[in-house]
Chains A and B, each alone.
Chain A
Amino acid sequence: MRITESIIKRNSMLSIHENMSQLYDTSQRLSTGKKILKPSDSPSNIKALSDYKLKYSMNEQYKKNINFSLSRLSLVESSISSIYDELSRLREKLLQYKSSTSNEIKNNMVEEIELSIKNVASYLNKREGDSYIFSGTKIFSKSFDFEVGSDPDGQIRIQNVIYNGNFLKPEVKISDSDFEICGFNGEEISNIKGNNIFSILIDLRKKVLNGDNISSNIDQINSYLNSLDDLSVNIGFKISNLNSRIESIEKENLRISGFISNIEDIDYSVELTKYTSLQNKYNIAIKIYTNLTQKNISDYI
């Protein structure tokens, strides 16, 4: 085969062009740290990469949902704890009152019970932002309202406590297929196992006012407190489960990050070595091309 100058130049140019293009690709990878910058860089991996990224971002969203649920459950827990304290304090006072016959103490007790009804209702009317957290999903409605009327002593007091919320449990999505409750409705808290705390307290107040025996009411309060305790434990479990769920999501996302990194991140040492070698090849190709093109007719004569 005759080797002409144009053949040599063309081959050198092709080699320089190929080197330049490889150098450009390598420098792009080095400057971004990624080996996949567009789908065509590795089309077979794009589906997997976008699936992993989507899963990661959805997991982050589920984590956010769980954190919301945790914050709501903490508020519920703190309200239950306040109700528990309020009723325990009242129970102590009732036990002291049982052995007393003084009218003044009786009247004080009536007011104490009235205050407890109001306090329990106020704990169950707790809000977070615009939302009443114990109204089920009817979060714009105040959870509990009072109906007032005259007691036998002529005083205006609470005669009935009305629940305005619904009986649904607010839920959040914590995975592609699972939901978790992020609160309790007011009915679930105020009326446990047939013990409606407001009815118990209103009945108790009336008995104190009439001087009747209140032992059965104290028992009901005890039973209610035990149920509250159980509910607290239940919420504790839920909080603990949700915390483990967050941990497992974080672990899963760590694993997914690893997969994503394996697919799209470069190994700097490999790329740097490649870059240096390509740079040398490029310089040599340029040098050869320069030597070839610098020759002219005078070199021959």
Chain B
Amino acid sequence: MGGFNSFTIGASGLRSFNYYQEVIGSNISNLSNPAYKRREVILEPLHGNDQVYMGAKFAGAKRIVDYFLEKSVRSSISDFEKNNYLNNILPEIEDKISVLNENSIYSYLNLFWQALNDLSQNPSNISLRNILLNRATSLADKINSSINDYELLSQKIIQDARKSVDYINQKLKDIAILNKSIKDIETSGNEANSLKDKRDYIVEEISKYIDVDVYENIEGYVLDINGITLVYGDKNFDIEFEYTINPQKNIIYSIPSFGKDIKISNGILQGYQIAIKEVEEINLKIKSFLDFLTDSSNSSFNSIHRNGYNLDGLSSGLDFFVKNSKGEIEINESILLDPSSFAASKTPYEGDGDNCISMADFLKSGVIEGKNCFDYFSELSSDLGFKVNNAKNNLKISESIKVSAMNRRDSISGVSVDEEMMKLLEIQKYYSVMAKYINISNSMIEDLINIIR
């Protein structure tokens, strides 16, 4: 090795450590950047023409990524976001039907039952008849407004789902564009670390909505969901959204390019599917109750009223609860216009209140889906309570799992200032050593020249 080679070695060391410092600087400055993966410097031995060791060279900065941990983070994010969505939407569904809510169907039903009892004591009392009709109207209004509220909620969920699908499609397009840029940069022999960070971050963003998998094969980067490809290199395939009305009201996501439905197993998109089913189920239950009250068969609330006698001692023949052309429940207009036509009596005499008692008893004993009206709503409320409670617990669990997965990933890919500072101090020392090495080489050569002289 020639004496001047020592300058080459020293200079390569100084250059390499200079790059090293730049990488550490980049790591530290991106400490708070959630998309950033820490970089590690790759140094390679520098050989001369005769394979003699000539120092070190900077071979690049490697992104530290563990793909297994990345997958587990994505999966935990999907789970957390689904539970977070359900934890927000289910209480909204729960509140409207809650038996503890004084503005619920259950409470209005109870008030109507009480009004029937009050009128049974004094069936000729017009003010009691008016109170009963007011309470029955409130009950009917509450049933209609609940159905309407749930339909609006259903529409809101569908709208949100549609927006989310559009957002995901935009993100898939972004990934395809990024893939092209990454490929171009890497083909030209450069590193595309920042773009890869950006791509991973977008994938993480998509994971909030759907549980996707990513991998790279010979032909490029692939993003798929349950085996269905959404991004393949620089090509992306749009997800389409469909809401089927019948037979099982559900949200269906599909990829028209492949003519396939996507099975969504996690993420906010699955949250929409679960929420819409809940809303539709509750709405069906309320509609069943509406049908129960407006039923005209011989074993219905209406038949009791129909067979009763009004204040004039005449057979009523009128249904009390009726369905209008919009399918809403209403009180028979003839009864509303003339409270004395309410059939409080069971016998064709004036003033008998026994029919009120029969109607009140029917509300307590009439069977709807195997339960009486009050149990029907308290069990519905309790069932939903269990679901909301589960969503709350699931959210807690999934948040812990997400934090733990992210921590495990950060323990590999995250930047530790302590570690970077230690490296910096170390590099500074190496840098001084290299500088000293050049100085010594320089003085040795000077000494040699002096001796030769």
A interface vs B, CB < 8 Å? 1-7, 10-11, 14, 36-44, 46-47, 49-51, 53-54, 57-58, 61, 64-65, 68, 129-131, 135-141, 166, 168, 170-173, 176, 182, 297, 300-301
The reply to whether B411 and A43 form a contact with Cβ atoms under 8 Å apart is no
The reply to whether A36 and B94 form a contact with Cβ atoms under 8 Å apart is no
B416 touches which one: A4, A49, A130, A131 (CB < 8 A)?
Answer: A4
The reply to whether B124 and A2 form a contact with Cβ atoms under 8 Å apart is no
The reply to whether A43 and B386 form a contact with Cβ atoms under 8 Å apart is yes
Is B190 on the interface with A (CB-CB < 8 A)? no
> 7 closest A-B pairs (Cβ-Cβ)?
A39-B385, A43-B385, A139-B351, A40-B388, A4-B414, A137-B352, A140-B350
Q: Mark B52-84, 1 if CB is under 8 A from A, else 0.
A: 000000000000000000000000000000000
Chain B residue nearest in CB terms to A140: B350
The reply to whether A1 and B347 form a contact with Cβ atoms under 8 Å apart is no
B contact residues around A54 at 8 Å (CB): 110, 374, 378
B contact residues around A14 at 8 Å (CB): 399-400, 403
- Max chain A C-beta neighbours (<10 A), residue from B90, B382, B414: B382
For the complex, what is the distance from the CA of A44 to the CA of B389, rounded to whole Å? 10
The reply to whether A11 and B121 form a contact with Cβ atoms under 8 Å apart is no
Number of residue pairs spanning A and B whose beta carbons lie under 8 angstroms apart: 169
A11 touches which one: B118, B347, B360, B403 (CB < 8 A)?
Answer: B403
Q: A2-B412, A54-B374, A129-B125 are in contact. List 11 more A-B contacts (CB 8 A).
A: A2-B410, A6-B415, A38-B91, A39-B100, A43-B385, A49-B100, A50-B100, A54-B110, A130-B124, A135-B351, A136-B349
Within 8 A of A (CB), among B407-428: 407-408, 410-412, 414-419, 421
The reply to whether A138 and B386 form a contact with Cβ atoms under 8 Å apart is no
- A4-B411, A38-B98, A51-B378 known; A140-B403 Cβ under 8 A: no
The reply to whether B351 and A5 form a contact with Cβ atoms under 8 Å apart is no
- A36-B100, A37-B100 known; A4-B415 Cβ under 8 A: yes
Is B266 on the interface with A (CB-CB < 8 A)? no
For the complex, what is the distance from the CA of A41 to the CA of B99, rounded to whole Å? 13
- A5-B415, A10-B403, A47-B378 known; A140-B351 Cβ under 8 A: yes
For the complex, what is the distance from the CA of A179 to the CA of B363, rounded to whole Å? 18
The reply to whether B385 and A38 form a contact with Cβ atoms under 8 Å apart is yes
The reply to whether B407 and A10 form a contact with Cβ atoms under 8 Å apart is yes
B contact residues around A37 at 8 Å (CB): 100
The reply to whether B386 and A172 form a contact with Cβ atoms under 8 Å apart is no
Chain B residue nearest in CB terms to A128: B122
The reply to whether A47 and B382 form a contact with Cβ atoms under 8 Å apart is yes
B interface vs A, CB < 8 Å? 28, 31, 34, 90-91, 94-95, 98-100, 106, 110, 113-114, 117-118, 120-125, 311, 345, 347, 349-354, 357, 360, 364, 374-375, 378-379, 381-389, 392, 399-400, 403, 406-408, 410-412, 414-419, 421
Chain B residue nearest in CB terms to A1: B411
- B interface secondary structure, majority: helix
B contact residues around A176 at 8 Å (CB): 364
B contact residues around A68 at 8 Å (CB): 121-122
For the complex, what is the distance from the CA of A36 to the CA of B382, rounded to whole Å? 12
For the complex, what is the distance from the CA of A236 to the CA of B143, rounded to whole Å? 46
Chain A residue nearest in CB terms to B110: A57
Instruction: Supply 29 A–B pairs (Cβ within 8 Å), ascending by A.
Output: A5-B31, A5-B415, A6-B415, A7-B410, A14-B400, A38-B100, A38-B385, A39-B381, A40-B90, A41-B385, A44-B382, A47-B379, A50-B99, A50-B100, A50-B106, A65-B117, A65-B120, A131-B351, A136-B349, A137-B345, A137-B349, A137-B351, A137-B354, A138-B350, A168-B347, A170-B352, A171-B354, A172-B121, A176-B364
B contact residues around A41 at 8 Å (CB): 385, 389
Chain B residue nearest in CB terms to A47: B382
- A11-B403, A65-B117, A129-B122 known; A166-B349 Cβ under 8 A: yes
Chain A residue nearest in CB terms to B364: A176
A63 to chain B, nearest CB (A): 11
- A54-B110, A61-B117, A137-B349 known; A297-B416 Cβ under 8 A: no
B411 touches which one: A3, A65, A139, A182 (CB < 8 A)?
Answer: A3
A contact residues around B386 at 8 Å (CB): 40, 43-44
A contact residues around B121 at 8 Å (CB): 65, 68, 172, 182
The reply to whether B100 and A40 form a contact with Cβ atoms under 8 Å apart is no
A6 to chain B, nearest CB (A): 5
B contact residues around A182 at 8 Å (CB): 121
A contact residues around B364 at 8 Å (CB): 176
A contact residues around B383 at 8 Å (CB): 43
For the complex, what is the distance from the CA of A46 to the CA of B375, rounded to whole Å? 11
